[in-house]
Structure 1
């Protein structure tokens, strides 16, 4: 990414009052941020409110400093733990996250390069687990990693930390062991007790954040980052959680995204088990062993293995995809079946068509071809 491109993406992300949904609408109409900021107020006003247009035509507070800091952060990368920035228009953007209602415009990453996002399972739970709960998280994560799954969690104390440790213990050499989605900028580690753990994850897994450098551990950031944790996994396992735990937010988001939710039951006398019991009453799948989860995910893994990317027959992937879409709303699964293209490649093509104004993203994970006059 060139510095000018970085500056334009950061400016869009930092513009107050626009938000991910508004930014996507503008990108779909005008192209990439550099083209968007070249538009007149009148053109922007066709898709943005007067307040948004005014904000888009002004430099966001602290924007130039953020460009300098981010550029320096990217250039100073440790070869053992590379740093990079993914934009919403990047073909390497996580396909599961693209399907959510408000995928971040920018994702900050630190860790080994990822050519294809791995099959993963999210593990979340209490920051104050019982000793048995922490042991369960570590053992389940170790088994998942040994089975080839990447473990996603939030780097918090308690269950999160135990899950990351177990994944690092169980993953094969060279495998992406674990992904930590954090609620701060990647130039900070929170909690400080996990500084060493964060360094080890950056060497054998990934640190991920949607927040700009310098972002402090603000309370409101942590529930919001949970949608990313849910989106990166094929399912979410809640090990222990109180009734008001943030882990229940992650589980709800996973269910809304059409992913499996698993819960480990506990003692009826334990406050840390009540959140899991509530999830079980709501339809989460009860699990007693890691194998229970692996068996539930096996059909999804088999389907993913069958959906290997294929080239378009006529050498025109975008035209081929548009013809396969027809003109009625269609879901991703149907497009995979029609085109024989893998989900990750298909998501990248759909995003390119959306940004070019040829495809509209509809509620419920549907897409529709748009005829431009």
Structure 2
């Protein structure tokens, strides 16, 4: 098995750095895994190891604001324009001009921004939970698709996205709640799905401005009252230490730029001709894509779109790594066969016999 290496690249006049993990043959097809909120590069360990084992060059950065990457308490560092600058520096550091980009949560917003701003750098795009043409376009990218039968506008103005508005209105208070028990928060988000939630009932995140996080808990649940994590102990420990190093201020600042992100990504050609995969999380009620209209913009924009569903909640690659890996690898071998390791040298042919 290939060892996981640590690298870093500086950019923005050497004022910022991105730390990233890399594994697999250096000349293998490049796949970049982009995490969301909250996560760090190490949470992709199962994907890094699997892709490296079949010959890909797999890398995962600590996104700006996380882990060992630059994590300044400067809100402007976390708008999509600044993040994309870092992603282009990351790509350049690999010596490549393009890659397969795989994103989850805010990572999907970032990879979508990369696809809009630098389509030549994207051989294929994979979004998990958060569709293309949503969060990278600011409020207008997702708020119009709230299911008003579940979230009447007079009671739930921002629908399940109320927690995002809470960041804009009460940022320091919101961050302080998470920072009060970072280990508990990390383990809470890494829990396995044990019950199937009711899609017809309002999500607790639709009430954050009224009652607070997690249905009004005064502080996050502590690690000793939570069940086993869905990720290995060593990954959870590393992830927790990463988050304790930075706290939640910097990663949460991604939520402060909806208007600016809309100006950055709006008005551009959003049609994608590359192969695109969307991975639905069956029990994700915040980014609910199975019965809502949230996928409409992605379906309209992508001419070669594949969709697959994993029986998990929002952190699906924590919870169901084997299923997620299988979906990703099947997509690549079917839709981007020339990028499969060794494809150009293998001489692989298929003959259909006439019986």
* TM-score, length basis structure 2: 0.31
Report 1 or 2 for greater relative contact order, CA contacts < 8 Å, sequence distance ≥ 6.
Answer: 2
Bigger-Rg structure (1/2): 1
Q: TM-score, with normalisation over the residues of structure 1?
A: 0.30
